Chains A and B, each alone.
Chain A
């Protein structure tokens, strides 16, 4: 995939470029948000195949709607979230098979406000993960989603325990920077 040469561009700046038909800007947005969009679709639809289709449709909607983005009204991330969510919901209406709408946590069936909050949090966290360098992301994924201890991660990745600890702390700090607004 071609990547734009200006990694410092904000999401909003990328959307503005997409509005002008800039394909590399669109590809950079895709790199940043593909997993977040797919995750959102999976939460809504539950079925992997439908979610993959919905994620593609969401990005088509982003491409087509980019001209409606107004940076004066907010950052790019919430706009992308809204467009993606609407596209996924539209797809759900066209093919109204039962939606899974997976429970967001223990106890299941949270109220709509909690569910929306949870989806937005997941969206931001999954987006933030894309800022991690390739050597830091595995230590986070193995610790949080595979349940491995630091020693087990060291063994799995074949790197010293001290390196695992350094990378973990660095990755968490990097995520904190990326999630600054969420943490305020």
Chain B
């Protein structure tokens, strides 16, 4: 989350009638006070089926023990990098070009979880120009070679160098890689 609340005048303009302006100003204040809601991970896409959640405490205990011992960030990124129990130094993920984007490359930096529990990240792409279709590119987490969870999309700069903030509401250890594809396509352009 940015520490800078948006400028209310820029958001609504200056031509609103005073009562409506006051009403929207109060909503603005509430949004700033509330902060961002967390994104739902894929595990929470569906509501629980009461009577089928008895396994949760064991999973929770395991997670808590690991998190306490290793730190959530190191734990997640360590698994993501495939380093098994060696969690020490991974805080960025390198991606290389593939197929028609062979000369492209990218780096994803994963930062500390924000107050809502999401993982802010920044992807820096070089050598990837806008596609002829004009569509945005998408960053996905993968599992077993399949697109599994969308992290965000971006419009490439004409010179091929793009820096975009994103956010992953997922448990990163549940995935085994990252890819960039054109929206609506499964052809991998960047991969870990």
Does B64 sit at the interface, judged by CB under 8 A?
Answer: yes
A175 touching B53 in the complex, CB below 8 Å, given contacts A56-B44, A122-B34, A147-B2: no
Q: What's the nearest-Cβ distance from chain A to residue B134, in Å?
A: 8
Please report the C-alpha to C-alpha distance between residue A55 and residue B64 in the assembled complex, in whole angstroms. 15
Category for how many chain A residues contact B: 35 or more
Category for how many chain B residues contact A: 35 or more
Please report the C-alpha to C-alpha distance between residue A47 and residue B68 in the assembled complex, in whole angstroms. 10
If over half of A's interface residues share one DSSP class (helix, strand or loop), that class is named, otherwise mixed; here it is: helix
Spell out B's residues near A (CB within 8 Å). Answer: 1-6, 10-13, 16, 20, 23-24, 26-28, 30-41, 43-48, 50, 53, 56-57, 59-61, 63-64, 67-68, 72, 113, 115-117, 136, 154-155, 165, 171
Identify which of A1, A56, A125 contacts B31 (C-beta below 8 A): A125
Evaluate contact between B165 and A34: CB separation under 8 angstroms: no
Does A86 sit at the interface, judged by CB under 8 A?
Answer: no
Within 8 A of B (CB), among A2-58: 26-27, 30, 34-36, 38-39, 42, 47-53, 55-57
A175 touching B31 in the complex, CB below 8 Å, given contacts A143-B11, A169-B12: yes
Please report the C-alpha to C-alpha distance between residue A18 and residue B104 in the assembled complex, in whole angstroms. 52
Closest to B67 in A: A47
Closest to A63 in B: B50
Contacts of B113 in A (CB 8 A): 48
Contacts of B154 in A (CB 8 A): 156
Please report the C-alpha to C-alpha distance between residue A168 and residue B63 in the assembled complex, in whole angstroms. 39
Does A146 sit at the interface, judged by CB under 8 A?
Answer: yes
Identify which of A1, A60, A150 contacts B50 (C-beta below 8 A): A60
Evaluate contact between B171 and A48: CB separation under 8 angstroms: yes
Contacts of A112 in B (CB 8 A): none
Identify which of B23, B33, B63 contacts A49 (C-beta below 8 A): B63
Closest to B62 in A: A49
Contacts of A116 in B (CB 8 A): none
Please report the C-alpha to C-alpha distance between residue A149 and residue B36 in the assembled complex, in whole angstroms. 17
Does A102 sit at the interface, judged by CB under 8 A?
Answer: yes
